[in-house]
Amino acid sequence: MNRESKQCQNCHQEFWIEPEDFSFYEKIKVPPPTFCPECRAKRRLIQWNEHNLFRKKSFLDGQELFSTYPEDSSIKVYSHDYWWSDKWDPMQYGRDYDFKRPFFEQFRDLFYDVPWSVQSVRNMVNSDYCNQANGFKNCYLCFNGGYGENCMYGVAFRDVKDSLDFHAAISCELIYECYQLGKCFKTFFSKEIHDSNNVWFMNDCTNCSNCFGCINLRHKQYYIFNTQYTKDEYEKKIKEFNLGSYKSLMEIKDRFEDFKIKFPVKYIHSNHSVNCSGDYVYWSKNARYCYEVGVVEDSKFIQNVTAGVKDCYDYSNWGDNVELMYESISCGDKQKNIKFCFDCWPACQNLEYCANCHSSSDLFGCVGLSKKQYCVFNRQYTQSEYESLVSKIKEHMDKMPYTNSKGVIYKYGEFIPSEFSPLAYNETKAQDYHPLDKNSAIKNGYNWKDVNRREFEISISSDDLPDNIKDATDSILKEIISCQKCKRAYRIIGAELELYRRFNLPLPRLCHECRYSERLKSRNPHKLWKRQCQCSGQKSENGIYQNNAKHSHGEKKCPNEFETSYSPDRLEIVYCENCYNSEVA
Ligand SMILES: [Zn+2]
Ligand SMILES: [Zn+2]
Ligand SMILES: [Zn+2]
Ligand SMILES: [Zn+2]
């Protein structure tokens, strides 16, 4: 089959379907998509709230709970323990398929009729203010992770201990203000660091210890701003930085910002990967247009998954030994052949259009089921009844599609329509990856919610916090502090103060939400631009960086082109893999 151009039903832009894509769609028996990859990603992400917790009353007894869903969302929630108990039966909500109404409308009814668990968590110990999590112990405001202990304000991580304010970390301990770390110990204010310890203000370094303010280092120790020191000199210099003071810390931050743009960056954040595109791709093979992924093979258009993902398309969040996942989000843990599903885990197989189902197989259009097989709309069938009904429904979906107010047609093969989401665009992961302002969200047909947080009386302004951590007494734990940026209230909790003292770091001046959004801003977007390598032979094109090594293209400008998440207007010097490796490896 040849590649084929299509017009996206949603944004009306052109997109391409490649021969390999057609083979995948044939293999899993779905029609080719009618939305472009970005609109498909947004449509999935708009179902998913990764890191907001709302107060919401239990549908059972009105008890106030902390939930994925806000109070005014019409979704019904039960407490976690009640939902998972035998005290209610989701099969009671079972209904016949109505061939007089579009499938999607009937699915929406069931989605809102069946109660949901207030949070999506497993095996939690003393970690009430967390969500989308498995195996957390003593964690606070941590989201989307597995196996965290004594962590605070962490998002998207696995196997992290005693850490604070981090995003995307695997197997780390004692990290603070970091993004994209693997196997790091005592790492602070750093991005894309692997197998390192005791490092501060570092970008893209591997196997380093006792380094400060460095870029692109491999196997180094006692470096400060990319200059080698002796152990004694290093230790003396670090003391002089006086990082316990907020004022000094800010000066160092500014200095590092100026310093880091003097070095080339690789066009893609990636290592141990072959034939991959997108960004933040680790330990992967043939992972194309994938973002923030690890251990992915032969897959395309995927975001935020890890630990064994094979032969999947259009799949967001999770992973863990999965295969043939398509147009699904927040589904994972030993699963196979999952299509158009949301929040289904673990060990499910052959599910289509299911939400919040667990340990089940061969379900179509079901919500809230556990350990079931051969069900449609939460009603039990025999295997042969199930198979014939499902094929009739698929035909019916094409004969009587659902059409939304924008004229978008939903036949078999489309994910759940965005307008059915119980969340507003800006309450979901869609806003993090594809940020929109209120007007453009509404213009694009997405729901929007003005933030209406409970306000607290401020007892101290962040400007009046002690400059140095050594002057912060325990009384700070009683204060309600106003955030320097959003002016809303935040607090410092005991375990947090302990870590600031232990590492001699000043109290943060921003609330945890502003700290989170600052970290997100430092990450590249899920978008690619076609660019040419900025190596001009002996120097970078802008003359700022002097190459140390001879490159294969000699003294001429490097002809290599690539797709990169660094937009052309950015200041970074962007090198192709060859030029970057000549300088760094
Ligand atoms: Zn589109
Ligand atoms: Zn704030
Ligand atoms: Zn190059
Ligand atoms: Zn070069």
The alpha carbon of 100 and the centre of ligand 3 are apart by a number of angstroms equal to 60
What's the mean pLDDT in 11-31?
Answer: 96
CB 17 within 8 A of CB 32: yes
Beta strands in 209-321 (DSSP E): 209-215, 221-224, 227-228, 264-266, 270-271, 278-282, 285-294, 296-306, 309-310, 313-319
pLDDT confidence of residue 477: 96
Ligand nearest to the CA of 551: 4
Residue 321 has pLDDT above 80, yes or no: yes
The alpha carbon of 540 and the centre of ligand 3 are apart by a number of angstroms equal to 10
114 — phi, psi (to 5°)? -75, 130
Transcribe 82-134 into DSSP letters.
HHTSSSS-GGGG-----TTS-HHHHHHHHHHHS-EESS-EES-BS-TT-EEEE
pLDDT confidence of residue 7: 97
Bridge partners (DSSP) of residue 482 are 461, 489
Residue 256 has pLDDT above 90, yes or no: yes
Give the integer Cα–Cα distance in Å for 503 and 47: 39
The alpha carbon of 572 and the centre of ligand 1 are apart by a number of angstroms equal to 29
Ligand nearest to the CA of 487: 2
The alpha carbon of 285 and the centre of ligand 2 are apart by a number of angstroms equal to 39
Which helix H or strand E contains 389, and what residues bound it? Answer: helix 383-399
User: What percentage of residues in the chain have a pLDDT greater than 90?
Assistant: 92
The alpha carbon of 262 and the centre of ligand 3 are apart by a number of angstroms equal to 17
Contacts of 382 by beta carbon, 8 Å cutoff, 6+ apart? 374
| Span of 128-137, 224-233, 410-419, 442-451 with lowest mean pLDDT | 442-451
The alpha carbon of 517 and the centre of ligand 2 are apart by a number of angstroms equal to 9
Give the integer Cα–Cα distance in Å for 225 and 234: 11
Give the integer Cα–Cα distance in Å for 409 and 405: 10
Residue 311 has pLDDT above 70, yes or no: yes
3-state secondary structure of 343: coil
Give the integer Cα–Cα distance in Å for 177 and 525: 19
The alpha carbon of 166 and the centre of ligand 4 are apart by a number of angstroms equal to 34
Residue 77 has pLDDT above 70, yes or no: yes
Cis check: omega of the bond before 401, within 30 degrees of 0: no
What's the mean pLDDT in 409-414?
Answer: 98
Give the integer Cα–Cα distance in Å for 311 and 26: 13
The alpha carbon of 533 and the centre of ligand 3 are apart by a number of angstroms equal to 5
The alpha carbon of 34 and the centre of ligand 1 are apart by a number of angstroms equal to 9
For residue range 49-74, list pLDDT tens digits in order: 998 899 999 999 999 999 999 988 99
Would you place residue 257 in the very low, low, confident or very high pLDDT band (cuts 50, 70, 90)?
very high
The alpha carbon of 255 and the centre of ligand 3 are apart by a number of angstroms equal to 28
The alpha carbon of 441 and the centre of ligand 1 are apart by a number of angstroms equal to 14
Give the integer Cα–Cα distance in Å for 492 and 528: 39
pLDDT confidence of residue 78: 95
Contacts of 218 by beta carbon, 8 Å cutoff, 6+ apart? 205, 206, 207, 208, 584, 585
Which candidate, 292, 266, 264, 265, places its Cα nearest to that of 278?
A: 292
pLDDT confidence of residue 358: 97
The alpha carbon of 272 and the centre of ligand 4 are apart by a number of angstroms equal to 21
HSE toward the beta carbon, residue 250, CA cutoff 13 A: 9
CB 224 within 8 A of CB 198: no
What's the mean pLDDT in 180-200?
Answer: 97
The alpha carbon of 490 and the centre of ligand 2 are apart by a number of angstroms equal to 8
pLDDT confidence of residue 455: 75
The alpha carbon of 537 and the centre of ligand 4 are apart by a number of angstroms equal to 5
Residue with tokens 């990169």: 564
Give the integer Cα–Cα distance in Å for 34 and 15: 9
pLDDT confidence of residue 456: 83
Transcribe 152-168 into DSSP letters.
EEEEEEEEEEEEEEEEE
The alpha carbon of 157 and the centre of ligand 4 are apart by a number of angstroms equal to 35
Give the integer Cα–Cα distance in Å for 522 and 525: 9
Ligand nearest to the CA of 560: 3
The alpha carbon of 536 and the centre of ligand 4 are apart by a number of angstroms equal to 6
pLDDT confidence of residue 452: 66
Which candidate, 511, 417, 502, places its Cα nearest to that of 462?
A: 511
For the chain, the average pLDDT equals 95
Ligand nearest to the CA of 481: 2
Q: Are strands 4-7 and 264-266 parallel, antiparallel or unpaired?
A: unpaired
The alpha carbon of 492 and the centre of ligand 3 are apart by a number of angstroms equal to 47
pLDDT confidence of residue 454: 66
Ligand nearest to the CA of 561: 3
What's the mean pLDDT in 215-220?
Answer: 96
The alpha carbon of 578 and the centre of ligand 3 are apart by a number of angstroms equal to 6
Q: How far apart are the first and last CA of the chain?
A: 41
The alpha carbon of 180 and the centre of ligand 2 are apart by a number of angstroms equal to 23
Give the integer Cα–Cα distance in Å for 372 and 365: 13
pLDDT confidence of residue 453: 66
The alpha carbon of 581 and the centre of ligand 4 are apart by a number of angstroms equal to 9
Which candidate, 97, 93, 96, places its Cα nearest to that of 110?
A: 93
The alpha carbon of 266 and the centre of ligand 3 are apart by a number of angstroms equal to 9
CA 71 to mean position of chain CA atoms: 24
Which candidate, 6, 33, 110, places its Cα nearest to that of 412?
A: 33
Residue 26 has pLDDT above 80, yes or no: yes
User: What percentage of residues in the chain have a pLDDT greater than 70?
Assistant: 99
Would you place residue 450 in the very low, low, confident or very high pLDDT band (cuts 50, 70, 90)?
confident
The alpha carbon of 579 and the centre of ligand 4 are apart by a number of angstroms equal to 4
Give the integer Cα–Cα distance in Å for 338 and 325: 5
The alpha carbon of 532 and the centre of ligand 3 are apart by a number of angstroms equal to 8
The alpha carbon of 558 and the centre of ligand 4 are apart by a number of angstroms equal to 5
The alpha carbon of 217 and the centre of ligand 4 are apart by a number of angstroms equal to 18
For residue range 467-513, list pLDDT tens digits in order: 999 999 999 999 999 999 999 999 999 999 999 999 999 999 999 99
3-state secondary structure of 362: strand
